[in-house]
Each structure stands twice: as structure tokens, then as C-alpha cells.
Amino acid sequence: MRIISGQYGGRRFEAPRNLQARPTTDIAKEGLFNILNNRMDFEGIRALDLFGGTGSISFELLSRGANHVTCVELGRQQQQFILKTATELHIGHELQLVRGDVFRYIKSQTAVNADGIFDFIFADPPYALPDLPSLPGLILDGNLLKGDGLFILEHGKDNDFSAVPGFIEMRNYGAVHFSFFARVL
């Protein structure tokens, strides 16, 4: 895992071989953040990283100036790796690590927030996750995203979200596909 740019840019971290995560490839992550650099200013944003895995996206966001990132990850090994990496980078309260089920987390946050709390939401679920197609609706209808915020869903080639209200575009980097969404106000 490599942090591409920002305060921690160039830092590399070796995830344990037995870590059950499929991190976003460096090429795909670099392409994604090149697009995002032209769409948003990371300085001071609040972000949500769902299915955090290695924490790669969370650390990239913090490196680029995000004020706060909430990272939701169910796996104990993944969570331990994220905490270890955060400690090595001297990251404290800027990163909130939530160990739990993403769908339960979304439901719990939806119930208490009416105006959206995150400027940016990224989700990298397992590509074979049966509930993957429901994520855009849950995020966009659940008011987790601010009115001018951006939601990106990483997925495989077998998913097409172009008919989902709020869909903006899809970009692909080999087997990695990113669908971009905004709230429909």
C-alpha cells in the first residue's frame, strides 16, 4: 500500500499476507485522485470510508488535508492494520475507526442526520457482495452525504449504476470501476 500524495505522500506500508482485503490498486487510486483533484478541495473535509480494508483511501484523504475521516471496517485484522498504520503516521483524532457492519452503520447514521454530514463518501465493498447494488440508494437517500458532496462506489465490471438517480459517471482502471454519485436535491 502506498500513499500517493500530500503530507504522507510516498510512504509505503506492507499489509500482512493473510489480510482479507482487496485494496484499491495504486494505479486505480492514483487515477481516481487525479480526477478528484479537479473536482474538490480535500482541505478540511469530513469523509466516510466504507469497507475500509487496509485504510488506504482513509490515509490518502488524511494525507491530502481531510479534517476528519470515519473508516468503517468489520474485520478485526483489517482494523488492527489500520490502527497500526495510523500510529506509525501519528494520526490521532482525525481518524475514527468504527468496527462494524457497514449496513448497520449507515442505518444508525441515517436515523440521526437530516442534512448530511460527509463531504465525501467512498465505498469499496467486496465485488461479490449481494447487497452491493443497494449501496447508492442507501447512501443518497439516507442523507449521509452533504448536498454538494460526492459519493464514489468501487465495483467490478458486472455492475451498472447508470440508471440510479444521482449517478454522474463511471470510470474504469482495468478490473476496477468507480461510479460517481451526487445527491438529487
Residues 102/125, Cβ–Cβ less than 8 Å: yes
Give the whole-angstrom CA distance, residue 96 versus residue 114.
Answer: 21
The cell 452525504 sits on which residue?
145
Give the whole-angstrom CA distance, residue 138 versus residue 107.
Answer: 8
What crossing angle do the helices spanning 26-37 and 56-63 adopt, rounded to 10°? Answer: 40
Residues 145/139, Cβ–Cβ less than 8 Å: yes
152, three cell numbers: 464514489
Adjacent-strand bridge partners of 123: 50, 153
pLDDT at 25: 77
The top-level CATH class assigned to 26-181 is alpha beta
Question: Using CA atoms in the order 89, 90, 92, 94, what is the torsion angle rounded to 10 degrees?
Answer: -50
| pTM over cut 0.85 | yes
Per-residue model confidence as pLDDT tens for the chain (185 residues) = 889 999 999 888 887 777 666 677 788 999 999 999 999 999 999 999 999 999 999 999 999 999 999 999 999 999 999 999 999 999 999 999 999 999 999 998 876 666 778 999 999 999 889 999 999 999 998 889 998 999 999 999 999 999 999 999 999 998 899 999 998 87
Alpha-carbon distances, residue 94 vs 12, 17, 86, 91 (angstroms):
20, 27, 10, 7
